[in-house]
């Protein structure tokens, strides 16, 4: 057995250190923080793991109430202030090589324990108290065992967090009796609603779905709790800045009444009416809706308080109008519920095969967008939308499959949206159903149907990403933005255009540290993304912290301003064709400036000005090349980020010359008139910190104007 295990670990190490991850200047990365959470008002000893951890002596939390002090190499004492609300926060490591990608750090109200001994056999099960959280990890080709005591008829919720705290684990949680008989299990979302059949000790088995494992990637938190559990909230949306009424459906709800609804696991649900203050502005990274596609949704998360501790979070989205509820029966066209557009309707794809039909009067000239929000609320649904004029043609909408974020940040969603231009007065029928819900009844499958007047708008997401080296480069890297002195790095900004918005979106950086600049760029009409460049001056001081990336656009006479939602790749993926890239929204967009090391090569325009030329003329841009040792190969510079500029051939800059001229013959390379921020890139190799390190050199942004 032992040799096989070694091979598995060797494979894991090889993956961590495989060349694709080293193909740029080192940037600190974080694999795990153990434990990945702690109790409010306590101090927690944590151990971190990752790569490029030189001088990794600070942790950066997304809540100021959580602070850390280094106690030893990779070890910190984390203090969670008593006023930090329960929830998921981001933690990053700061070191010589910048600031890392974030990991989730959960702040809760239950006592916590950490795995401290091997527990891969039932005999070695670690005892966990009901009303506590266990933090552990799963080894490869292995199952982990815990045990707890319960009285007959005692109801306990086992809630295993893994994916939602950035773990690679797909948890399978099984409760067994002392004789090893399986009493309850969950393979999908880690939640088991368990009632003890007798007094006794019960085993909990935790394993990965495919028996993968490893301490640095397959960590989990298992709560054994009697606190309430929320299955879903209805309606799943409300108008921002209001006090709104909701009904919570769940289990062990304080003061809850029977809901006469059976959950997918066969357990009866309770319901509880609550009033919630809906925030005026959306939260940046929202628990329950942090998938890339959810970047286009505004909302906040809510936890029901209780004496046993706060319940699990639910996501509530922000609606464009007061939300009305669907009224059954409305499955058939003849039973369609009458509504008045524009409006927001909340409904439920329940029971299996449920269809909801609505009708409204359309006036000639009205332009509506009819959009379903469900999968983006974090639900496993595939809403289907059918829009018909009574007696007229129909419009079928399956899903907004468009993936504006590409394979490294897949934003495709199952939620459909349709534009309805009312050509004549009449009754219009909207029918929604869940294409995934034919055979299964799951009351959690709620949706929000938004029928609103066309109001072009946009949302943005930003992630630190070095552009791919070539067409065969299918790697995705978990990293944060990091600048050495004199270096330019890139941030990919992705636009979610709403209601057909087609205009330019101007982007700029905000709250930048001293010495860091950001040339304004725009996501041009018809495009969905651009690279935003951040440049550190040589000698810029060491710094790590959040910055903002802001987009502005004109819709008619109105200027709309939107902060880009921070996003990250959670784990390195060598080839996105072989496995999906785990990516999510983050709470902050963090940047680090080295302060001690400079970029090996800087390429910048000789002057900071707008370089102008007439269409058809020749545009010569003198460049300044600064080499700071270790990298003296010929640079093959290629130009990017203006229309038709790909026609410009890459040109060589030899290893010694400190100047070069980028010469653009606008007669051959037909860049249309306009203002652009272009840059040059080159792949080169050399030695950094005495180690062979290939890098992508990105030039400082160059503003050009074609007249």
Partner 1 sequence: MKHWLVLLALVATAHAEKLATLQIEATGAPAITLRGKDVRQQLLVTGKLDTNAERDFTHRSSYQAAPAGIVTVDASGLIAPVADGTATITATADGVAATIEVKVENAGSNPPVNFGNQIVPIFTKATCNSGGCHGKSSGQNGFRLSLLGFEPTEDYEHIVKEARGRRVFPAAPDNSLLLLKAIGVVPHGGGKRLDPASDDYRLIVRWIAQGMPYGAESDPKLASIEVLPKQRTMALGGEQQLVVLAHFSDGAVQDVTRSALYEPNDKSMAKVEEDGRVTLFDQPGDVGVMVRYQGKVAVFRGTAPLGAPVENLPAPRNFIDELVFAKLKAMGLPPSAPCDDATFLRRVSIDIAGRLPSLEETRAFLADAEPAKRDKLIDTLLASSEYADYFANKWSALLRNKRNEAKDARGTFTFHAWIRDSLLTNKPYDQFVREIVAASGDIADNPPVAWYKQVKEPQQQLEDAAQLFLGMRLQCAQCHHHPFEKWSQHDYYSFAAFFSDVGRKGTDTIFPRRGVATAVDKKTKQPVKPAGLGSPVLEIAPDDDPRLALADWMTHTDNPFFARALVNRYWKHFFNRGLVEPEDDMRETNPASNPDLLDALAHRFAESHYDMKALIRDIVQSRSYQLTAMPNDFNKSDRQNFSRYYPKRLTAEVLFDAVNQLTGSQSAFPGMPVGTRAVALPDNSFNAGSYFLTVFGRPESSSACECERTQEASLAQCLHLLNSKDIQDKLAAPTGRPALLAADNKRSDNDKLRDLYAVAYARDPAPDEIDFCKQYIAKKSAQEPDAAKKPAAVRQAYEDLVWALVSSKEFLFNH
Query: 91: burial class by Cβ within 10 Å (0-12, 13-18, 19+)?
Result: buried
Whose Cβ is closer to partner 1: residue 247's or residue 403's?
403
Of residues 83, 123, 401, 557, which one binds partner 1 by CB under 8 A? 401
Q: Tell which residue, 193, 227, 226, has the closest CA to residue 305.
A: 227
Contact of 51 with 98, CB cutoff 8 Å: no
Q: Is the backbone of residue 541 left (phi > 0), alpha (psi -120 to 50) or beta?
A: beta
Which residues, 6+ apart, have CB-to-CB distance to 227 below 8 Å? Answer: 110, 157, 252, 306, 308, 309, 310, 311
Task: Provide, rounded to whole angstroms, the least separation between the CB of residue 13 and partner 1.
Answer: 17
Options 245-253, 301-309, 382-390, 696-704: segment touching partner 1 (CB under 8 A): 382-390
Q: Tell which residue, 265, 183, 278, has the closest CA to residue 231.
A: 265
Whose Cβ is closer to partner 1: residue 438's or residue 657's?
438
Instruction: Say how far apart CA 170 and CA 172 lie, in whole Å.
Output: 7
Whose Cβ is closer to partner 1: residue 3's or residue 307's?
3
Whose Cβ is closer to partner 1: residue 200's or residue 629's?
200
Of residues 129, 185, 511, 634, which one binds partner 1 by CB under 8 A? 185
Which phi and psi (to 5°) does residue 187 adopt? -110, -5
Q: Is the backbone of residue 187 left (phi > 0), alpha (psi -120 to 50) or beta?
A: alpha
Task: Provide, rounded to whole angstroms, the least separation between the CB of residue 421 and partner 1.
Answer: 22
Instruction: Say how far apart CA 475 and CA 489 lie, in whole Å.
Output: 18
Whose Cβ is closer to partner 1: residue 140's or residue 545's?
140
Task: Provide, rounded to whole angstroms, the least separation between the CB of residue 279 and partner 1.
Answer: 30
Q: Does residue 210 interact with partner 1 by CB under 8 A? A: yes
Task: Provide, rounded to whole angstroms, the least separation between the CB of residue 550 and partner 1.
Answer: 35
Options 51-59, 98-106, 232-240, 380-388: segment touching partner 1 (CB under 8 A): 380-388
Options 75-83, 184-192, 505-513, 627-635: segment touching partner 1 (CB under 8 A): 184-192
Instruction: Say how far apart CA 270 and CA 257 lie, in whole Å.
Output: 5
Contact of 284 with 295, CB cutoff 8 Å: no
Task: Provide, rounded to whole angstroms, the least separation between the CB of residue 637 and partner 1.
Answer: 38
What letter would DSSP give residue 692?
E
Instruction: Say how far apart CA 35 and CA 54 lie, in whole Å.
Output: 21
Whose Cβ is closer to partner 1: residue 331's or residue 705's?
331
Whose Cβ is closer to partner 1: residue 170's or residue 306's?
170
Show the beta-strand stretches assigned E in 8-65.
29-34, 37-39, 43-51, 58-61
Task: Provide, rounded to whole angstroms, the least separation between the CB of residue 436 and partner 1.
Answer: 4
Placement of tokens 């990017």 in the chain: 640
Q: Does residue 439 interact with partner 1 by CB under 8 A? A: yes
Which phi and psi (to 5°) does residue 20 adopt? -60, -30
User: Residue 337: in which H helix or E strand, if any?
Assistant: strand 337-338
Of residues 168, 285, 433, 479, which one binds partner 1 by CB under 8 A? 433
Task: Provide, rounded to whole angstroms, the least separation between the CB of residue 222 and partner 1.
Answer: 19
Of residues 17, 178, 209, 615, which one binds partner 1 by CB under 8 A? 209
Instruction: Say how far apart CA 481 and CA 479 lie, in whole Å.
Output: 7
Instruction: Say how far apart CA 547 and CA 81 lie, in whole Å.
Output: 24
Q: Does residue 181 interact with partner 1 by CB under 8 A? A: yes
Whose Cβ is closer to partner 1: residue 172's or residue 664's?
172
Per-residue contact string for residues 117-156; x = within reach of partner 1 by CB under 8 A: -----------------------xxxx-------------
Whose Cβ is closer to partner 1: residue 35's or residue 416's?
416
In this structure, the chain runs to a length of: 707
Output the 3-class SS for 283-352.
CCCCCCCCCHHHHHCCEEEECCCCCCCCCCCEEEEEECCCEEECCCCCCCHHHCEECCCCEEEEEECCCC
What letter would DSSP give residue 617?
S
Whose Cβ is closer to partner 1: residue 75's or residue 188's?
188
Of residues 254, 279, 351, 353, which one binds partner 1 by CB under 8 A? 353
Of residues 6, 151, 155, 188, which one binds partner 1 by CB under 8 A? 188
Whose Cβ is closer to partner 1: residue 279's or residue 380's?
380
Site residues for partner 1, 531-590, by CB under 8 A, read: 578-579
Of residues 294, 348, 374, 431, which one binds partner 1 by CB under 8 A? 431
Of residues 77, 276, 321, 355, which one binds partner 1 by CB under 8 A? 355
Instruction: Say how far apart CA 249 and CA 269 lie, in whole Å.
Output: 6
Options 91-99, 379-387, 452-460, 519-527: segment touching partner 1 (CB under 8 A): 379-387
Task: Provide, rounded to whole angstroms, the least separation between the CB of residue 119 and partner 1.
Answer: 13
Task: Provide, rounded to whole angstroms, the least separation between the CB of residue 589 and partner 1.
Answer: 30
Which residues, 6+ apart, have CB-to-CB distance to 470 below 8 Å? Answer: none
In this structure, the number of other CB atoms found within 10 A of the CB of residue 224 comes to 22
User: Residue 12: in which H helix or E strand, if any?
Assistant: helix 2-17
Q: Does residue 183 interact with partner 1 by CB under 8 A? A: no
Which residues, 6+ apart, have CB-to-CB distance to 638 below 8 Å? Answer: 648, 650, 680, 681, 682
Of residues 33, 156, 172, 660, which one binds partner 1 by CB under 8 A? 172
Whose Cβ is closer to partner 1: residue 198's or residue 514's?
198
Q: Does residue 211 interact with partner 1 by CB under 8 A? A: yes
Contact of 695 with 24, CB cutoff 8 Å: yes
Task: Provide, rounded to whole angstroms, the least separation between the CB of residue 161 and partner 1.
Answer: 17
Of residues 41, 131, 254, 380, which one binds partner 1 by CB under 8 A? 380
Options 38-46, 427-435, 650-658, 685-693: segment touching partner 1 (CB under 8 A): 427-435
Q: Does residue 388 interact with partner 1 by CB under 8 A? A: no
Contact of 131 with 151, CB cutoff 8 Å: no
Whose Cβ is closer to partner 1: residue 116's or residue 210's?
210
β-pairing, 343-348 with 323-325?
parallel
Whose Cβ is closer to partner 1: residue 1's or residue 340's?
1
Task: Provide, rounded to whole angstroms, the least separation between the CB of residue 434 and partner 1.
Answer: 9
Of residues 182, 390, 607, 620, which one binds partner 1 by CB under 8 A? 182
Q: Does residue 391 interact with partner 1 by CB under 8 A? A: no
Instruction: Say how far apart CA 586 and CA 569 lie, in whole Å.
Output: 10
Q: Does residue 441 interact with partner 1 by CB under 8 A? A: no
Task: Provide, rounded to whole angstroms, the least separation between the CB of residue 182 and partner 1.
Answer: 5
List the structure tokens of 396.
């079928």
Contact of 50 with 68, CB cutoff 8 Å: no
Query: From the centroid of its chain, how far is CA 101?
Result: 12
Q: Does residue 187 interact with partner 1 by CB under 8 A? A: yes
The residue count for binding partner 1 (CB under 8 A) is 37
Whose Cβ is closer to partner 1: residue 440's or residue 670's?
440
Of residues 440, 469, 474, 628, which one binds partner 1 by CB under 8 A? 440
Whose Cβ is closer to partner 1: residue 397's or residue 637's?
397
35: cis peptide before it, omega within 30°?
yes
Q: Tell which residue, 560, 529, 223, has the closest CA to residue 405.
A: 529
**Residues in touch with partner 1 (CB under 8 A):** 1, 4, 140-143, 170, 172, 181-182, 185, 187-188, 207, 209-212, 353, 355, 380, 382, 384, 386, 396, 398, 401, 431, 433, 435-440, 578-579
């Amino acid at each position: 057995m032992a040799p096989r295990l070694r091979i598995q670990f060797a494979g894991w190490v090889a993956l961590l250190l495989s060349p694709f991850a080293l193909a740029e200047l080192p940037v600190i990365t974080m694999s795990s923080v153990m434990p990945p959470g702690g109790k409010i008002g306590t101090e927690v000893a944590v151990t971190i793991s990752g790569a490029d951890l030189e001088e990794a002596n600070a942790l950066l939390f997304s809540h100021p109430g959580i602070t850390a002090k280094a106690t030893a190499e990779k070890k910190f004492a984390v203090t969670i202030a008593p006023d930090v609300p329960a929830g998921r926060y981001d933690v990053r490591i700061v070191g010589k090589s910048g600031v890392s990608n974030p990991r989730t750090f959960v702040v809760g109200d239950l006592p916590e324990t950490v795995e401290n001994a091997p527990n891969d056999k039932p005999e070695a099960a670690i005892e966990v108290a009901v009303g506590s959280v266990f933090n552990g990890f799963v080894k490869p080709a292995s199952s982990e065992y815990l045990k707890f005591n319960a009285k007959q008829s005692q109801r306990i919720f086992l809630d295993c967090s893994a994916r939602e705290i950035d773990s690679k684990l797909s948890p399978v949680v099984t409760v067994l009796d002392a004789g090893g008989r399986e009493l309850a299990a969950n393979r999908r979302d880690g939640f088991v609603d368990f009632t003890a059949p007798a007094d006794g000790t019960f085993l909990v088995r935790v394993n990965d779905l495919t028996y993968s494992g490893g301490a640095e990637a397959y960590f989990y938190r298992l709560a054994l709790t009697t606190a309430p559990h929320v299955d879903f909230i209805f309606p799943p949306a409300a108008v921002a800045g209001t006090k709104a009424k909701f009904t919570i459906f769940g289990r062990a709800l304080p003061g809850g009444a029977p809901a006469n609804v059976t959950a997918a696991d066969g357990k009866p649900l309770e319901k509880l009416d609550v009033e919630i203050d809906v925030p005026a502005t959306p939260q940046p990274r929202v628990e329950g809706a942090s998938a890339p596609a959810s970047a286009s949704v505004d909302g906040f998360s809510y936890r029901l308080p209780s004496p046993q501790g706060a319940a699990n979070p639910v996501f509530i989205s922000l609606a464009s109008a007061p939300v009305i509820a669907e009224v059954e029966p409305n499955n058939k066209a003849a039973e369609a519920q009458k509504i008045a557009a524009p409006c927001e309707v909340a409904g439920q794809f329940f029971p299996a095969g449920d269809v909801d039909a609505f009708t409204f009067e359309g006036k000639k000239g009205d332009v509506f967008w009819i959009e379903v929000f469900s999968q983006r609320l974090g639900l496993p649904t595939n809403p289907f939308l059918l829009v018909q004029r009574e007696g007229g043609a129909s419009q079928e909408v399956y899903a907004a499959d468009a993936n504006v974020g590409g394979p490294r940040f897949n934003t495709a969603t199952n939620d459909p949206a349709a534009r309805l231009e009312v050509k004549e007065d009449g009754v219009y029928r909207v029918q929604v159903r869940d294409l995934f819900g034919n055979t299964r009844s799951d009351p959690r499958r709620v949706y929000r149907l938004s029928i609103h007047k066309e109001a072009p708008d946009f949302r943005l997401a930003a992630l630190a990403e070095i552009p791919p080296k070539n067409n065969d480069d299918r790697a995705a890297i978990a990293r944060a933005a990091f600048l050495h002195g004199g270096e330019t790095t890139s941030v990919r900004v992705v636009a979610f255009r709403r209601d057909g918005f087609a205009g330019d979106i101007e982007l700029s950086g905000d709250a930048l540290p001293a010495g860091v600049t950001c040339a304004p760029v725009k996501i041009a009409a018809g495009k969905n993304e651009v690279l935003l460049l951040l440049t550190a001056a040589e000698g810029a001081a060491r710094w790590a912290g959040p910055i903002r990336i802001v987009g502005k656009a004109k819709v008619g006479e109105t200027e709309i301003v939107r902060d880009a939602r921070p996003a990250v790749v959670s784990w390195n993926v060598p080839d996105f064709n072989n496995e999906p890239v785990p990516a999510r929204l983050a709470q902050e967009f963090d940047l680090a400036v080295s302060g001690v090391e400079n970029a090996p090569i800087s390429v910048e325009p000789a002057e900071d000005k707008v370089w102008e030329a007439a269409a058809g003329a020749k545009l010569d841009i003198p460049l300044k090349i600064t080499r700071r040792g270790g990298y003296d190969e010929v640079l093959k510079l290629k130009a990017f980020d203006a229309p038709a500029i790909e026609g410009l051939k890459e040109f060589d800059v030899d290893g010694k010359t400190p100047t070069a001229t980028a010469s653009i013959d606008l007669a051959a390379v037909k860049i249309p008139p306009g203002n652009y921020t272009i840059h040059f890139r080159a792949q080169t190799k050399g030695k950094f910190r005495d180690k062979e390190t290939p890098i992508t050199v990105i030039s400082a942004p160059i503003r050009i104007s074609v007249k």
